[in-house]
Amino acid sequence: MATLVILLGLAALVFTITVADHSPLQDFCVADPSNKVIVNGQACKDPKTVQASDFFFSGLHLPGNTSNPVGSKVTPVTVAQLPGLNTLGISLARVDYVPWGINPPHTHPRATEILTVVEGTLEVGFITSNPDNRLITKVLNKGDVFVFPVGLIHFQRNVGKMNAVAIAALSSQNPGVITIANAVFGSKPDVAGDILAKAFQVDAGIIKQIQSKF
Ligand SMILES: *[C@@H]1O[C@H](CO)[C@@H](O)[C@H](O)[C@H]1NC(C)=O
């Protein structure tokens, strides 16, 4: 019995630790996209061939193209753009918003996000897990910082009169993004309409209409 309790305790501890990216086992492991070995993360380049350019990204001074239905654009700097991030458990993004533009409700399955407003005014929020589903929301001005805990659904909206810009840091080299509307209504193939009709408690025709937009 005591052994079982200890094992369960250890399992809980391991689970807690593995919520974030694993710790590096060497100084760095620059991602080598040409390596076809399937590993958790990406295979390392030979450290002797690594250059400063492997740890470098340029472009976050450039606004993203916000000409889209939601009026915002995320410019990510994850391991896909900056190979030196491999195994380091961290990444960055710039988000641009037109007035009333939104970064629609989404979650990062592998990362907590900390966001700061560089320009403008954002209304931000996240929603806690079931059963409370409490909305925690705030208006942020330039220089303000807000954190979105790992896995929780969150969003931003530009409530100012000018374009807004935010910089977000994320606790994974590859945070992942699940945009709720796109995932639920735009999956390939579609989730059966009657499943969504029952889930959202609306007529199947409304589901068809939403699905047609994604
Ligand atoms: C921005 O995106 C829109 C819609 O995709 C496109 O038509 C337009 O050419 C893009 N603008 C720039 C400057 O790339």
| Ligand 1 binding pocket includes 18 (Cβ within 6 Å) | no
Residue nearest to atom 14 of ligand 1 (CA): 65
Domains of the chain: 2-49 (no CATH), 60-212 (2.60.120.10)
Q: Name the E strands within 83-196.
A: 91-97, 102-107, 113-119, 121-127, 135-141, 145-148, 153-158, 164-170, 178-179
CB 107 within 8 A of CB 151: yes
Print pLDDT tens along the chain (214 aa): 555 555 545 555 444 445 689 899 999 999 998 998 888 999 999 999 999 999 999 999 999 999 999 999 999 999 999 999 999 999 999 999 999 999 999 999 999 999 999 999 999 999 999 999 999 999 999 999 999 999 999 999 999 999 999 999 999 999 999 999 999 999 999 999 999 999 999 999 999 999 999 9
Q: Distance between CA 84 and CA 197 in Å, rounded?
A: 45
Residue 68 alpha carbon, nearest atom of ligand 1: 4
Is the bond leading into 131 cis (omega within 30 degrees of zero)?
yes
Residue 14: the pLDDT is 47
| Ligand 1 binding pocket includes 67 (Cβ within 6 Å) | yes
Under 8 Å CB-to-CB from 57, ≥6 apart: which residues?
A: 77, 81, 82
Residue 19: the pLDDT is 62
Residue 2: the pLDDT is 58
Q: Distance between CA 170 and CA 148 in Å, rounded?
A: 10
| Ligand 1 binding pocket includes 65 (Cβ within 6 Å) | yes
Please classify residue 42 by burial: count the beta carbons closer than 10 Å to its beta carbon, then call 0-12 exposed, 13-18 middle and 19+ buried: buried
Q: How far is the CA of 64 from the centre of ligand 1 (A)?
A: 10
Residue 20: the pLDDT is 81
Tokens representing residue 27 in the block: 């100084």
